Structure 1
């Protein structure tokens, strides 16, 4: 059976690595390639495992960049514990122990990491080797590899391995020429990096916010269902609306309360979402670094975000929504018309004075002696409508305050965001970098869905980046992971 998996992009998330292991299990015996090596099992932490892993990691790191880029974004993979037709697994050891066992032989410049995934109830080790780049040094054996049985050495110090088709072999003349040309590209090599200074990113736990909203709604419902005012018999109607209120039944009042609670729920959901996005710790703050001693012109950056939880880009914080007032409470059942007219007046004044309009920001005029409550209330309503119409007209028709959290494509401040499968792709405007310069990229508001299932939570955000410049050769790429903080309350 052919090795059937889409290798057009990298396998980085645990779910993607599991799919890779499944593809190995379902593959044919001769389906290994330049970018992947597998082994049925190995006793990790022993000399046998050390010889196998070191040899193949070095071979994958010494590939030609243009050839490596054809598969899995240039990454290379060593899979241990699964082979075509069987899953034997491995006895896992600590990541730090594995690193300490291999690093003396691989050297400090070779970038790789190891992940365990579970397949058919057994642990499988997958070593991920970073893509080779132009300007990379030649990776060699930094220390002689002892024979697993203790009889001398298997490979001497300074041996260079390369990946040729589905095999890892010692470098020959043609391989040395390719590796020297790759290293020579360092004279005009792009030497930049994207990093972050934040230690974690806040996850959005919808259940926490739902509980807070439910508590607020329950509190409001209890306050409203029990009327605070008794019916008044002697008050004469002051406005037409008062006659309508006088004829209102308790059923009408309950309907008004239901409508108010629905509006309040919608307002609270949008308001809490905006407050969450406003927190710097909920978004992604990236820093661009020029590691070299020469300037780079028109450097373009692309960042891909992936997580086991759903990712949303909500756009910029909506200051209008943050400053907006909650919906008006319904007129209490049984209240006097005069009391209601005063409430209308008070609400109108508050709403109008909160609209920041440089040419219409003066408070409403104070009532003159002898002015009826009815007249003043009508005046307040008229002023509110006029100022609201003017405000909406100045903003092009008045957009409804409804923040979108699932927009597939938005752009602001030098940043373009697109949905990409289950993740997001960020494209930044080109920048010029002086030698050793550090630049902060635009802050990216982000919603990382913390809940992925019953009792399961998203624990990390994977940030993969690539960079290319007009004044330098090649493309640089890398990745890092940010822990996702799970909130337990607001």
Structure 2
């Protein structure tokens, strides 16, 4: 018989946890898994024996392999006290803070992440301990306090427990290797995330630099178009202008913008941003000051066409900046 409950999502609410307790009551003893552990009853929930047993179960849940944990209840683990298949014992649950302290002496209070809830089932109280899913980069959950059972050797502080299918046991070599890999996977994930953040910062910088350059270029070009309206404007005027500092800086600005567009193509796969870069390249290619640069004072119509081309280029780059603010948002 399979535990009669939907395990595709985590159970969080009081009603969901009560439903879980009821499903355990109706289950077979073989239904205990890596996600659920049940315990009959404790005469004193605050006794060291109870705190150790529940804490041991919490540590085992926290040390499960990530893939195995995620296969049920979105990785959340559950320890139920006061119910088992075919037997509803109930559990007297003292103040929640004292219960948490009793368990926390052995499981720890800051890591792993766990919580206690009391739910009602057919007139009885059931203690449900929820253990949050293991994640890449998680530390190994260790026994925080040594425990001396009535019989047998002491269980020393630092002992590692792992939840297996139907039981919690001391970690074997391969369990510890998996836990080490989990810790290292978190470091790798963090490193990749850092690289991603660095890449995004670099791209934001490229876009900002590029748009600033184009705005400078546009300002110089608009000034040039205004100059063509002069009565003395001619070919020599254009040749003289090309030797000026504004002409030189505008050329450098355009080259910088083109270079940064090439870098952006290499650094991102975002389709929206790449499409806007293509449009900006097309606007530059189509850009022409046309008749405005010919000898003699330019006609208002020619200047307006030239202004339109300059505006098109500037707007194309402004669109890149707008998209970048969304794509590379912090």
Smaller-chain TM-score range?
0.5 to 0.7
Kindly name which structure, 1 or 2, has the bigger radius of gyration based on alpha carbons: 2
Deviation at 1:175, TM superposition (A): 0.3
Q: For each residue in 1:31-76, what CA deviation from the matched residue of structure 2 results, as whole angstroms up to 9, or x when unmatched?
A: 1001000012123111221121011100000011121101001000
Partner of 1:9: 9
Which has a greater percent of strand? 1
Deviation at 1:102, TM superposition (A): 2.1
Deviation at 1:164, TM superposition (A): 1.2
- Residue 98 and residue 297 in structure 1: after superposition, are their counterparts in 2 closer, same or farther (change >3 A)? farther
- Residue 94 and residue 430 in structure 1: after superposition, are their counterparts in 2 closer, same or farther (change >3 A)? farther
Deviation at 1:152, TM superposition (A): 8.4
Q: What SS does the aligned partner of 1:24 have?
A: helix
Partner of 1:403: none
Q: How does 1:116-135 map to 2 (within 5 A)?
A: 116-135=118-137
Deviation at 1:295, TM superposition (A): 3.4
Deviation at 1:14, TM superposition (A): 0.4
- 1:105 lines up with 2:90 in the alignment: no
Partner of 1:144: 146
Work out the CA distance in 2 between the residues paired with 1:130 and 1:175. Answer: 19
Please, what TM-score do these two structures have when normalized by structure 1? 0.39
Partner of 2:80: 79
Partner of 2:96: 95
**Gapped regions of structure 1 (runs ≥ 5):** 192-289, 299-428, 434-490
Q: For each residue in 1:329-372, what CA deviation from the matched residue of structure 2 results, as whole angstroms up to 9, or x when unmatched?
A: xxxxxxxxxxxxxxxxxxxxxxxxxxxxxxxxxxxxxxxxxxxx
- 1:295 lines up with 2:197 in the alignment: yes
Q: For each residue in 1:366-401, what CA deviation from the matched residue of structure 2 results, as whole angstroms up to 9, or x when unmatched?
A: xxxxxxxxxxxxxxxxxxxxxxxxxxxxxxxxxxxx
Q: What SS does the aligned partner of 2:30 have?
A: coil
Deviation at 1:188, TM superposition (A): 3.1
Deviation at 1:187, TM superposition (A): 1.7
For the 8 Å contact 2:48–2:102, the answer to whether it is kept is no
Partner of 2:251: none
- 1:179 lines up with 2:179 in the alignment: yes
- Residue 104 and residue 296 in structure 1: after superposition, are their counterparts in 2 closer, same or farther (change >3 A)? farther
Partner of 2:223: none
Partner of 1:218: none
Partner of 2:37: 37
Q: What SS does the aligned partner of 1:146 have?
A: coil
CA RMSD, Structure 1 to Structure 2 (Å)? 2.5
Work out the CA distance in 2 between the residues paired with 1:47 and 1:119. Answer: 26
Deviation at 1:432, TM superposition (A): 4.1
For the 8 Å contact 2:114–2:129, the answer to whether it is kept is yes
Deviation at 1:132, TM superposition (A): 0.2
For the 8 Å contact 2:56–2:106, the answer to whether it is kept is no
Q: How does 1:341-356 map to 2 (within 5 A)?
A: none
- Residue 2 and residue 98 in structure 1: after superposition, are their counterparts in 2 closer, same or farther (change >3 A)? same
Deviation at 1:26, TM superposition (A): 0.5
Work out the CA distance in 2 between the residues paired with 1:116 and 1:431. Answer: 45
Q: For each residue in 1:299-338, what CA deviation from the matched residue of structure 2 results, as whole angstroms up to 9, or x when unmatched?
A: xxxxxxxxxxxxxxxxxxxxxxxxxxxxxxxxxxxxxxxx
**Gapped regions of structure 2 (runs ≥ 5):** 201-325
Please, what TM-score do these two structures have when normalized by structure 2? 0.57
Work out the CA distance in 1 between the residues paired with 2:41 and 2:170. Answer: 24
For the 8 Å contact 2:106–2:143, the answer to whether it is kept is yes
- Residue 124 and residue 167 in structure 1: after superposition, are their counterparts in 2 closer, same or farther (change >3 A)? same
Work out the CA distance in 1 between the residues paired with 2:53 and 2:42. Answer: 9
Q: How does 1:152-171 map to 2 (within 5 A)?
A: 154-171=154-171
- 1:58 lines up with 2:93 in the alignment: no
Q: How does 1:379-394 map to 2 (within 5 A)?
A: none
- Residue 146 and residue 31 in structure 1: after superposition, are their counterparts in 2 closer, same or farther (change >3 A)? same
Q: RCO (CA 8 Å, sep 6+): is it higher in 1 or 2?
A: 1
For the 8 Å contact 2:93–2:99, the answer to whether it is kept is no
Count, aligned residues: 202
- Residue 106 and residue 297 in structure 1: after superposition, are their counterparts in 2 closer, same or farther (change >3 A)? farther
- Residue 188 and residue 24 in structure 1: after superposition, are their counterparts in 2 closer, same or farther (change >3 A)? same
Q: How does 1:248-287 map to 2 (within 5 A)?
A: none
For the 8 Å contact 2:79–2:129, the answer to whether it is kept is yes
Q: What SS does the aligned partner of 1:27 have?
A: coil
Deviation at 1:99, TM superposition (A): 1.5
Q: What SS does the aligned partner of 1:89 have?
A: coil
